[in-house]
Structure 1
Amino acid sequence: MVLATKLVLVVRDDLPAALAVNAAAVVGLSLGGRLPDPPAAEGKDASGGVHAGLNPHPVPVLTASGDRLRELHDRARAREDLITVGFNEVARHARDYDDYLTALAATPGEDVEYVAVAVFGPRNRVTALTKRLPLHD
C-alpha cells in the first residue's frame, strides 16, 4: 500500500546517540498529536491479546547539519500543506515547559538552533525537502 502522505524525522548530525534518540522521540510525539488521522486500527494476536494501533507510515530518521535543519524547518513551515515540528536547544536545556516558554520568548528567531525537525504532508512535498538527507546510523 502506497500512502499519499509521508513523514520524516530529521536529527542534527552531531548529536550523541542518546540525544538523537531523545530528539527523534520528542518531535515524533509532538507530530503525532497534530496528525489529522488517528493511527491504524488496533490488532489482535492469535491469543486474543489486543495491541494498540500503530502509525501506518514508515518513519525514517534522517540527519542534517544544524544549518540544514534550520533551512528544512523554515521551508517546511512556509508550506500550508505540511505539518512541521521543531525541537530546539532552548527546549532541550529547559528544566520544564514553563521555563522553555519563558526562555523561548526571550530568544530571537534567528538564534533558535534546531536539534530535530519532523515533517508530515503530501509524499512528493516531503520527499522534495528531504531526499538528499542520509539515514541516521
Structure 2
Amino acid sequence: MPTIGQNSRTTIGHPVTLPALSFAPEEIRTDEPTRSARLKWVIVVDESLPAGRAVNATACVAAATASSVGGLLGPDAVDSDAQTHPGLPWAGCSILGATPDAVAEVLVKAQASEGVHVATMPEAAQSTRVYDEYLETVARQTTAALRPLAVSIVGPRNRVDKLVKRLSLLP
C-alpha cells in the first residue's frame, strides 16, 4: 500500500522513518509508460530567470525531492562496458515554466493540498553563498515573503494536474 503521511516502524531494533509520500514496491513499474504511474512529479520554475539560475533552482528542488519521496528513482543502469549509471526518475518529471506570480500561486496551492510533497527553492538560496546564511535569511522571512524560484511537486496524478493545469513545458 502506498505511504502518505509520516510513518514509523522498527527494523532490527532501530526506528525507521518512512518518507511522507512514496511508491509502494509493487507500484514501481519500469516496464510501463510514465503516465501509468499513480504519482506525478512536476517542477515549476520561474521562466524569467536566466538559464543558469533556472537550471540551478530546478536541480536543487529535484535533489531535495529525490531524497524525500520513496521509490522515485529507478534502478541503476549498466551499459555494455559494465559502467553503472545511477537510477533516474522512472516515473518521469515534467519541467514547467511560469511567471514569478504563478510559481508563488502554485506553491501556496500545493502546500494546502493534502498528500502532496512540496520542495521549494526560495530566492534566498541563490543570493547567499554560505548555507548557514541561507538558513538565517529564511528564518527572518515569512513564508509569503520568500520568493520561490522553483517548486517541486509530487502527488496523486489528478491532484498535481489540477495544480498545474494551465502551465506549459519550459522551452
Give the one of 151, 156, 160 matched to 1:117: 151
The answer for the alignment partner of 2:16 in structure 1 is none
- Once the 2 structures are TM-superposed, how far is the Cα of residue 9 of structure 1 from its aligned partner? 0.8
Q: Normalising by structure 1, report the TM-score.
A: 0.92
> What is aligned with 1:81?
115
Q: Give the 3-state SS of the residue equivalent to 1:107 in structure 2.
A: coil
Partner residue in 2 for 1:94: 128
In structure 2, what is the Cα distance between the partners aligned to 1:89 and 1:51? 32
Aligned runs of 1:23-34 on 2, under 5 Å?
23-34=57-68
For residue 45 of structure 1, report the CA deviation from its aligned partner.
Answer: 2.5
| Bigger radius of gyration | 2
CA distance in structure 1 between the partners assigned to 2:141 and 2:72 by the alignment: 34
Higher relative contact order (CA 8 A, sep 6+): 1
Residue 83 of structure 1: how far off its partner (Å): 0.3
Alignment of 1:34-49 (within 5 A): 34-37=68-71, 39-49=73-83
The answer to which structure has the higher helix fraction is: 1
User: d(CA) in 2 for partners of 1:20 and 1:4?
Assistant: 28
Q: Does 1:128 align with 2:165?
A: no
Number of aligned pairs? 137
Point out the structure with the larger strand share. 2
Alignment TM-score, normalising by the size of structure 2 = 0.75
CA gap 1:13/1:38 in 2 versus in 1, 3 angstroms = closer
Give the deviation of 1:50 after TM superposition: 2.9
Alpha-carbon shift at residue 134 of structure 1 (Å):
1.3
Uncovered stretches (5+) of structure 2, i.e. residues with no partner? 1-31
Deviations 1:62-97 (A, max 9, x none): 111111111111111112310001111112111121
Partner letter of residue 21 of structure 1? Answer: V
Once residues 90 and 33 of structure 1 are traced to their aligned partners in structure 2, the CA distance between those partners, rounded to angstroms, is: 21
> What's the secondary structure of 2:125's corresponding residue?
helix
**1:57 correspondence with 2:127:** no
Paired amino acid for 1:83: H
> For structure 1, which runs of at least 5 residues remain unmatched after alignment?
none
**Structure 1 letter corresponding to 2:134:** Y
What letter is aligned with 1:9?
A: I
List per-residue Cα deviations over 1:89-109 (Å, max 9, x = no partner).
Answer: 112111121101111111122
Question: How much does 1:38 deviate?
Answer: 5.2
1:15 to 37, 46, 49: 49
